[in-house]
Amino acid sequence: MVGDKFETFNSQKLQIQTCAELKPLIPENKLVFGKNFTDHMITIEWDAESGWDKPNIKPYGKLELEPSAVVFHYGFECFEGMKAYKDAQGHVRLFRPEMNMARLNKSSSRLCMPTFDPEELIKVITEFLRIENRWISSKRGYSLYLRPTVIGTQSSLGVRAPNKVLLFVIASPVGPYFSTGVKAVSLLASTEYVRSWPNGTGDCKIGGNYAPCARPQLIASEKGYQQNLWLFGDDDEVTEAGTMNFFMLWENPNTGRRELVTPPLNGLILPGITRDSIIQLVRSWEAETGIHVREGKITMADIIHAVDDNRILEMFGTGTACIVSPIKSIGYKGKDIQILLRRSKSDSEAGPLTMKINAAILDIQYGVVEHHFSRVII
């Protein structure tokens, strides 16, 4: 039954067709996020009668779909974003890939599309990366971005569970998010547009959550802000920062202790893998840092009062692309709320905790520090 159990494909039946001629590698100083793609792609078809077909690795190329395919008309599409890293010994690593697979299954199921055994797709991706190994740089900050995607391909007008689906994976080489030190961003708090709402799809990674955010993002950009700060409800509850999860290090007004607080998983925000990793890491450091971690509601009134009382120590967004992105100001109801930047380095606009988190996750991703978050696959 679609979405209810694993009707999985078998990685042992993988079929491989390699390119006769390989593309030239892109110079590292010319890399632009999501612009260039590797030589090959993964495709796996599914239909309601026979289930999952054999997985394929084949040359990167165009998809052939009917113009009536349901993905074009009703948004049957979900995706993931993850990276492959190469350590100093030449081993290829993935960062918590089982969480990406679980989230993709959740998103696919929410759209009445089929699920799969996470480990089977990880095995197929492993073989894909074995073929595309030359695209993965071992330099710190460089990686191969992977985009697993599931789309409804049934040719039919009418909103119903698709009886044909395609899962595909493409890959793009990427460089450091910040090329010259970690830079802080300014956010425009959106009081006109809402990204998510209770019992909606805000906790799923589906294309329908992103396209409607393009206009608010354009408005923010025209006003000089880099991203939106997404709010919800009459009390302007903070949910996400652009496409990132939101964190704030402050002095709790009730306890006086330093606390790293982030919005809870209440259905309004995406359960970020970087978010979860940060929560676990900072909690493990509490004896050393004295910083308590709390998942709880944050409102704009909380932020304004904390700024007025000089209780905000650091503020940042988190995600796969950037790991951490410091926040320096929030535009809200015609005023700019300035967040004091407590720089840890002269070339960085990030505070000490933000930089500690960034360094710790990079060390894990590149195998400098062995940790169960990092999986060696090749």
Encode pLDDT of 234-292 as tens digits: 999 999 999 999 999 999 999 999 999 999 999 999 999 999 999 999 999 999 999 99
Cα separation of 364 and 373, whole Å?
Answer: 7
24-50 pLDDT, tens digit per residue, is 999 998 999 999 999 999 999 999 999
Distance CA 117, CA 105 (A): 9
pLDDT at 321: 93
Compute φ and ψ for 316, nearest 5 degrees: -160, 160
Instruction: Using the structure block, give the residue that is written with the tokens 């971005």.
Output: 145
Handedness of CA 350, 278, 317, 192 (dihedral sign): negative
Give me the residue label for tokens 């309004």: 268
Helix axes 273-284, 97-110, angle to 10 degrees: 140
The set of residues, in sequence order, having a beta carbon less than 8 Å from that of 269 and lying 6+ positions away, is 196, 202, 203, 239, 240, 245, 263
Angle of CA points 121, 127, 128, to nearest 5°: 85
Q: What is the mean pLDDT of residues 75-88?
A: 99
Amino acid at residue number 253 = P
Question: Exposed (0-12), middle (13-18) or buried (19+): which is 70, by Cβ within 10 Å?
Answer: buried
* In contact, 149 and 167? CB cutoff 8 Å: yes
The Cα–Cα gap between 334 and 299 comes to: 17
**pTM value surpassing 0.85:** yes
Q: Is residue 220 scored above 50 in pLDDT?
A: yes
* DSSP secondary structure, 348-367, as one string: ----HHHHHHHHHHHHHHTT
pLDDT attached to residue 2: 47
Tokens 């535009």 correspond to what residue?
331
Confidence of residue 178 (pLDDT cuts 50, 70, 90): confident
Spatial separation of the C-alpha atoms in residues 247 and 262, rounded to whole Å: 5
326-363 pLDDT, tens digit per residue, is: 999 999 999 999 998 887 666 689 999 999 999 999 99
SS3 of 52, please? Answer: strand
**Overall average pLDDT of the 132-146 stretch:** 97
Quick one: what percent of the chain has pLDDT higher than 90? Answer: 93
SS3 14: coil
The DSSP element (H or E) to which 262 belongs, if any, is strand 258-262
- How many CA atoms within 13 Å lie on the side-chain side of 270? 33
pLDDT for position 177: 84
pLDDT given for residue 346 in this prediction: 62
1 falls in which pLDDT band (50, 70, 90)?
very low
Q: Which amino acid is at 229?
A: L
Q: Stretch 45-61: mean pLDDT, rounded?
A: 98
Q: Is the domain covering 185-363 a CATH 3.20.10.10 domain?
A: yes
Average pLDDT, stretch 89-113? 99
Distance CA 284, CA 100 (A): 23
Written out in words, the top-level CATH class of the domain with range 11-176 is: alpha beta
Show the DSSP H helices in the chain as ranges. Answer: 70-74, 97-110, 118-131, 214-222, 273-284, 286-289, 300-308, 352-365
Whether residue 3 has pLDDT greater than 50:
no
